[in-house]
Amino acid sequence: MKLILLGAPGAGKGTQATRIAEKYGVIHISTGDIFRANIKGGTEIGKLAKSYIDAGKLVPDSLTCDIVKDRLEKDDVKAGYLLDGFPRSLYQAEELSKFADIDLCLNFEVDTALIMDRICGRRVCACGESYHVSTLGGKTTCAKCGGELYQREDDNPETVKARLDTYNVMTAPLIAYYAAQNKLATVVCGTKTPDEVFEAVCEVLDKLD
């Protein structure tokens, strides 16, 4: 199973990706996570990516595409993978089509009015789990692994606004792009809980294999 997860920032791609990877045994590849790990490790890639991420812009295509291409050459993805946050532009989608054959693009449709609160209230754990402050009841550690929760640096109102603009201009055209290839499935998130969204996701994926 080779999947793409598409959706505006805050649509819940990361949360669903973790669950899909667990249930269907596919490797979760998140370009955002790769960039954040590089920033944390102080690598050249991290230094280059940071200014773009802080500004809510896309990291340059050449760098991003190379990273994904290299990752997809590793052996562990042979049984299937899940791309979370890539492709994010028509150019990236065209590049991807040169080195990968995708089965399906899952598009998460979310009410944009909810996004600002969702993202600015988000707290994440290094293990990949994320939470919303409204449901934490003051807790500051991860229920799954006990790790300390923190807020992503780009989860602030100004950067979120820029990320939404970037999504609308650069990424949203991918919905029509994959629909035209008959490779699009849309999951409407609305105000559904992560469990309810995952149920809808499984319904789609169970038909795939």
Q: Annotated catalytic residue: which of 57, 152, 183, 192? A: 152
Residue 9 binds: one of Zn ion, ligand ADP, none (C-beta under 5 to 8 A by kind): ligand ADP
Residue 31 binds to ligand ADP (criterion: CB under 6 A)? yes
Is 122 catalytic? The answer is: yes
Residues 36-65 close enough to bind ligand ADP by CB under 6 A: 52-53, 56-59, 64
* Angstrom distance (rounded) from CA 104 to CA 205: 9
* Angstrom distance (rounded) from CA 118 to CA 87: 23
Q: Annotated catalytic residue: which of 36, 118, 122, 123? A: 122
| Inter-CA distances, 98 with 8, 95, 150, 177, Å | 25, 5, 37, 15
Largest CA distance in the chain: 47
Residue 163 binds to ligand ADP (criterion: CB under 6 A)? yes
* Angstrom distance (rounded) from CA 89 to CA 79: 26
Residues 131-160 close enough to bind Zn ion by CB under 5 A: 142, 144-145, 147
Residues 58-117 close enough to bind Zn ion by CB under 5 A: none
- Least distance between ligand ADP and beta carbon 58 (Å): 4
- Least distance between ligand ADP and beta carbon 35 (Å): 5
* Angstrom distance (rounded) from CA 141 to CA 202: 29
| Inter-CA distances, 146 with 22, 119, 153, 157, Å | 19, 22, 21, 28
- Least distance between ligand ADP and beta carbon 153 (Å): 10
Residue 12 binds to ligand ADP (criterion: CB under 6 A)? no
Q: Nearest Cα to 61, choosing from 79, 86, 24?
A: 86
Is 88 catalytic? The answer is: yes
| Inter-CA distances, 67 with 7, 73, 204, Å | 21, 10, 29
Contact positions toward ligand ADP, by CB under 6 A? 9-10, 13, 31-32, 35, 52-53, 56-59, 64, 85-86, 88, 92, 163
Contact positions toward Zn ion, by CB under 5 A? 125, 127, 129, 142, 144-145, 147
Catalytic residue numbers, as ranges:
13, 88, 122, 152, 163
